[in-house]
């Protein structure tokens, strides 16, 4: 178990800078998830922590020790990859014990640790099989088992579930969560699945193009995204973004009108002043529309498609200015049966962003 910190960590591949000075504190025992779109640098950052990539600038600290020049094997970390990377010719048991045997770990202790990992992951029945005789989920369990037997200070996971089908992903997600509770070890987990991030993390790190955009507890990011990028990344279905214009300003407030809907107006608090006439974006989560008449103003949209999932319905619709949006109506099996739908919008459940995506409130 250990805390970990990144101080102004930079990564360059040749002349190209990929990570632009990352700062992060990870507490002992914390479960931290890196999320972000493909190519934003999640794996690179994780591989630098693991010691599989050199650090071009800054400092990585594990357990109070700078590890920039420490060999991967001596960092007290264990990494689990998307591709299981098991030895095909070895049994599960041999795969689990291999690293310890190579390090000359005493036989009895190795057996004890392998047994312990097998118990935790419930793979006792599979110990004599070879990887090709296992399902994807079982293989990933063995890969995680190989990390457990090393008794690392920090576990690193790089999209460990992305090769599994949807149902198994959910199951393994719960198992990883349970594993974290049971072991209490610091874990850093990379994914681009925002549901995995929301459900697993104590703390989410949102990355974009090599920059950390925001760090926070899952619900903090949901309630208080720092910018439009984070707002669009956290929450599912994604937040709707509607074009709007500032039509009035007050002391610490701005009144906006939706594009193509001059009468659909909302007055929102703003932290930074914004000039009248400014183009802005209103963010509304699909689940934050209310019934007509229940919000601060009503919005009527054209219904394109309605999906009824039983517990909830998703209405895919279009605004007067032809902007697409998704509206969620819990418990409704009839919403969206007509050609138009009127819903309520409220300032309290809306977000305002300037033209650069910065949060105004
Ligand atoms: N060895 C390398 N040489 C040059 N560029 C690299 C190298 N490895 C990665 N990159 C670049 O660094 C950037 C970040 O890559 P990285 O693999 O960290 O992304 P990622 O966030 O893990 O993406 P994904 O979700 O697709 O796995 C990408 O633009 C990638 O092309
Ligand atoms: Mg990656």
Ligand 2 center from residue 217 Cα (angstroms): 22
- Residue-level pLDDT at 164: 82
Closest residue by Cα to atom 3, ligand 1, is 13
Summarised one tens digit per residue, pLDDT across range 147-204 is 999 999 999 999 988 888 888 888 889 989 999 999 999 999 999 888 999 999 999 9
Residue 308 or 84, more confident: 308
Q: What is the pLDDT of residue 82?
A: 80
- Fold for 240-353, please state it: OB fold (Dihydrolipoamide Acetyltransferase, E2P) (2.40.50)
Confidence of residue 276 (pLDDT cuts 50, 70, 90): very high
pLDDT at 249 over 90: yes
**45 alpha carbon – ligand 1 mean position (Å):** 9
CB of residue 44 inside a 6 A radius of ligand 1: yes
H-only helix segments in 128-165? 136-148
Q: In this structure, how many other beta carbons lie within 10 angstroms of the beta carbon of residue 69?
A: 8
Tell me, using a 6 A CB cutoff, whether residue 15 lines ligand 1: no
Portions of the chain given CATH number 3.40.50.300: 4-233
Q: Check if 54 has its Cβ closer than 6 Å to any atom of ligand 1.
A: no
13 lines ligand 1 (CB under 6 A): yes
Expressed in angstroms and rounded, the spacing between residue 156 Cα and the centre of ligand 2 is 12
What is the side-by-side order of every strand in the sheet holding 154-158?
77-80, 154-158, 186-190, 31-35, 203-208, 211-216
Spatial separation of the C-alpha atoms in residues 302 and 343, rounded to whole Å: 11
pLDDT of 17 over the 80 cut? yes
**Residue from 20, 12, 13, 29 nearest 208 by CA:** 20
Average pLDDT, the chain: 93
State whether the Cα torsion 221-224-227-233 is positive or negative: positive
d(CA 183, CA 174): 14
Residue 169: the pLDDT is: 87
pLDDT at position 20:
98
pLDDT of 1 reads: 53
Enter the tokens of residue 128: 């004599």
pLDDT tens digits, residue range 318-336? Answer: 999 999 999 999 877 777 6
Q: How far is the CA of 3 from the centre of ligand 2 (A)?
A: 23
Number of the ligand closest to the Cα of 34 = 1
3-state secondary structure of 111: helix
pTM value is 0.92
Please give the number of the atom of ligand 1 that sits closest to the Cα of 190: 22
| Most ligand 1 atoms within 8 A of CB, residue of 11, 12, 13 to mutate | 13
Ligand 1 site, residue 41, Cβ cutoff 6 A: yes
Angle at 259 between CA 220 and CA 339, to 5 degrees: 90
Measured distance CA(345)–CA(295) in Å, rounded: 5
CATH 2.40.50.140 placement within the chain:
240-353
- Relative orientation angle of helices 107-121 and 136-148, to the nearest 10 degrees: 140
Tokens for 47, please give them. 């591989």
CA distances from 71 to 26, 48, 257, 337 (A): 21, 11, 58, 62
Is 52 close to ligand 1, i.e. is its CB under 6 Å away? no
Give me the mean pLDDT over the 346-354 stretch: 96
Is the CB of residue 209 below 6 angstroms from any atom belonging to ligand 1? no
Question: Which of 229, 265, 263, 251 has the alpha carbon at shortest distance from 350?
Answer: 265
Task: Indicate if ligand 1 lies below 6 Å from the C-beta of 191.
Answer: no
Q: Is 14 in the pocket of ligand 1 (CB under 6 A)?
A: no
CATH 3.40.50.300 fits 4-233, yes or no: yes
Kindly state the helix (H) or strand (E) to which residue 199 belongs, with its residue range. helix 194-200
Cα separation of 253 and 51, whole Å? Answer: 49
**What is the distance between the alpha carbons of residues 332 and 315, in angstroms, rounded to a whole number?**
11
Cα 227–chain centre separation: 16
| Rounded Cα gap, residues 172 and 191, in angstroms | 14
170 lines ligand 1 (CB under 6 A): no
Residue of minimum CA distance from atom 22 in ligand 1: 43
- Is there a contact between 11 and 44 (Cβ–Cβ < 8 Å)? yes
Mean pLDDT of all residues in 106-133:
94
- Quick: pLDDT tens for 196-216: 999 999 999 999 999 999 999
């Amino acid at each position: 178990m250990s805390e970990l910190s990144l101080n102004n960590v930079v990564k360059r591949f040749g002349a190209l800078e990929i990570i632009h000075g990352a700062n992060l504190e990870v507490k002992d025992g914390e479960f931290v998830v890196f999320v972000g779109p493909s190519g934003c640098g999640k794996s690179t950052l994780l591989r630098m922590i693991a010691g599989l990539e050199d650090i071009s600038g800054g400092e990585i600290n594990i357990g109070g020790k700078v590890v920039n020049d420490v060999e991967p094997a001596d960092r007290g970390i264990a990494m689990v990859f998307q591709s299981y990377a098991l030895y095909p010719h070895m049994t599960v048991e041999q795969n689990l014990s291999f690293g310890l045997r190579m390090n000359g770990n005493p036989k009895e202790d190795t057996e004890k640790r392998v047994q312990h990992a097998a118990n935790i992951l419930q793979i006792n029945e599979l110990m004599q099989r070879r990887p090709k005789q296992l399902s994807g989920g079982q293989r990933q369990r063995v890969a995680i088992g190989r990390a457990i037997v090393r008794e690392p200070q920090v576990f690193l996971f790089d999209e460990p579930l992305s090769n599994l089908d949807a149902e198994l992903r959910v199951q393994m997600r719960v198992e990883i969560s349970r594993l974290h509770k049971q072991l209490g070890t610091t874990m850093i987990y990379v994914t681009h699945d925002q549901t995995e991030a929301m459900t697993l993390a104590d703390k989410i790190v949102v990355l974009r193009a090599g920059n950390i955009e925001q760090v926070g507890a899952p619900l903090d990011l949901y309630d208080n995204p720092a910018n439009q990028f984070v707002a669009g990344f956290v929450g599912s279905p994604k937040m709707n973004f509607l074009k709007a214009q500032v039509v009035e300003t007050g002391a610490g407030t701005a009144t906006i009108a939706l594009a193509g809907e001059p009468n659909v107006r909302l007055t929102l608090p703003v932290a930074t002043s914004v000039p009248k006439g400014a183009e802005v974006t209103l963010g509304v989560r699909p689940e934050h529309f209310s019934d007509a008449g229940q919000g601060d103003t009503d919005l009527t949209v054209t219904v394109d498609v309605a999906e009824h999932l039983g517990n909830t319905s998703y209405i895919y619709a279009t605004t007067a200015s032809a902007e697409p949006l998704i509206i969620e109506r819990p418990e409704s099996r009839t919403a969206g049966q007509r050609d138009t739908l009127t819903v309520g919008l409220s300032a309290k459940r809306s977000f305002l962003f300037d033209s650069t995506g910065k949060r105004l409130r």
